[in-house]
Amino acid sequence: MGSFSIKKQNMKNSSSIHQYAIVTGNYWAFTLTDGALRMLVVLYFYQLNYTPLQIASLFLFYEFFGVITNLLGGYFGARLGLNRTMNIGLFLQIIALMMLTLPAAYLSIPLVMLAQAISGIAKDLNKMSAKSAIKLLVPEDENARLFRWIALLTGSKNALKGVGFFLGGLLLTLLGFQQAILSMAIVLALVWIASLFLLSHDLGKAKNKPKFHDLFSKSTSINLLSAARLCLFAARDVWFVVALPVFLSSRFQWSFWQTSGFLASWVIGYGIIQTISPYVVGKTPNGKTALLLAIALTLVTGILALSMNTFTLSSLLITGLIIFGILFAFNSSVHSFLIVHYAKSDGVSLDVGFYYMANAMGRLLGTVLSGWVYQQWGMAACLWCSTILIASASVISIRLSKT
């Protein structure tokens, strides 16, 4: 009887690992296209002499619909299953890519914004599904394992997003905008077809069907963590989304290769740090860990903003941004674990969706500020905004550390 129980447990573990591999593979494929698309749009429209604020506006619907998608996506994930929401996300990304294969004369700002809106919906459906699925594939009493799997999924995703940035610059140089987009759409379509057959059909369905009012979290810990996440990601994107690539291209006269290469390297390194974070910050971090990391990041960002006027050489700025990236990776990795840890197992996507709605609101705020603040006052002002936002996350995390 004991050997049968062990055999059954081993089969369950093998199935979990198999599904984890499929979820991760889907997430990886999507992330490559998402990172490449972001870099293609920024560099291509900067080449067409769009202002930083105009470029930022292209991503407004991407971030805005991400807010709505995370909120509603968690609800539909709990009712329909995470396999369906993940596959819908892949399919919508293919549609968004195909819209951008039109000739340049038809690529108006409204059309690009619409395509980005669809891509934003797709991205957050995919991410919410992947993060929620991990909660269901790891036994509830194995928090250290949960942190490792979350860190691996999140870290590898961000590393591949960095590869996507590099891929975007490379494809723009070699193929041009439309052909680059078409090639990505074809590859993602193949991944989507495979996912339809391989992903478990009952993954993540809630036993008790959630009501619409369950969209908003009633957990104090999740609400605090969500507020801190909003501030953190607004703090990152206020300088990273538009300001940094335009700054590197204009201030230091970097080529598309150099700009996309640096951003790719930064995000790849960021992802690697996230992956190893369980071995640095501890196996089971808590709210106090999030507070200490937020304070450290606030100090580093403030020093970076103070020193901005001395950055006459690109190497000095790059060094500062690398230090920022390491600390931000630890912050993000701990947050990604805590939300899955705090979330209820039944209908996990509701809590995860609410949290990533706050994440999307932070990205939306950061994107708008990135174009506007940079155009009005420059890179130093973007870094000061970042400092204030991270300090806000630190203040919120004081209460989180006591929950």
| Tokens linked to 403 | 């929950």
Average of per-residue pLDDT across 168-181: 86
Q: How confident is the model at residue 2 (pLDDT cuts 50, 70, 90)?
A: very low
The winner for highest mean pLDDT among 1-10, 77-86, 317-326 is 317-326
Identify the H or E element spanning 9: helix 2-47
Q: Write out the residue range of the structural domain in which residue 102 sits.
A: 2-400
Distant-in-sequence, close-in-space partners of 190: CB < 8 Å, separation ≥ 6? none
Asked if residues 353 and 166 have their Cβ atoms less than 8 Å apart, the reply is no
Q: Which pLDDT score is estimated for 4? A: 38
Q: Is the pLDDT of residue 87 over 60?
A: yes
**pLDDT at 7 > cutoff 50:** no
Point out the least confidently predicted range of 80-94, 128-142, 178-192. 128-142
How do residues 113-137 score in pLDDT, each as one tens digit? 889 889 988 988 887 777 777 777 7
- How far is 400 from 381, CA to CA, in rounded Å? 29
All residues at 6 or more sequence positions from 28 whose CB lies less than 8 Å from its CB, including other chains: 156, 157, 160
Q: Rounded mean pLDDT of 250-266?
A: 79
Quote the number of domains for the chain: 1
> What is the number of other CB atoms lying within 10 angstroms of the CB of residue 167?
23
Alpha carbons within 13 angstroms on the beta-carbon side of residue 175 total 15
Residue 350 maps to which CATH number? 1.20.1250.20
Q: Give the mean model confidence (pLDDT) for residues 150-164.
A: 83
283-300 pLDDT per residue, tens: 789 899 999 999 999 999
Query: What is the percent of the chain where pLDDT is above 70?
Result: 86
Q: What is the pLDDT of residue 217?
A: 59
What mean pLDDT comes out for the span 346-367? 81
- Region 188-202 average pLDDT: 83
Is the per-residue pLDDT at 329 higher than 90?
yes
CA distance 174 to 118: 26
Q: Is the pLDDT of residue 60 over 70?
A: yes
Global pTM reads 0.77
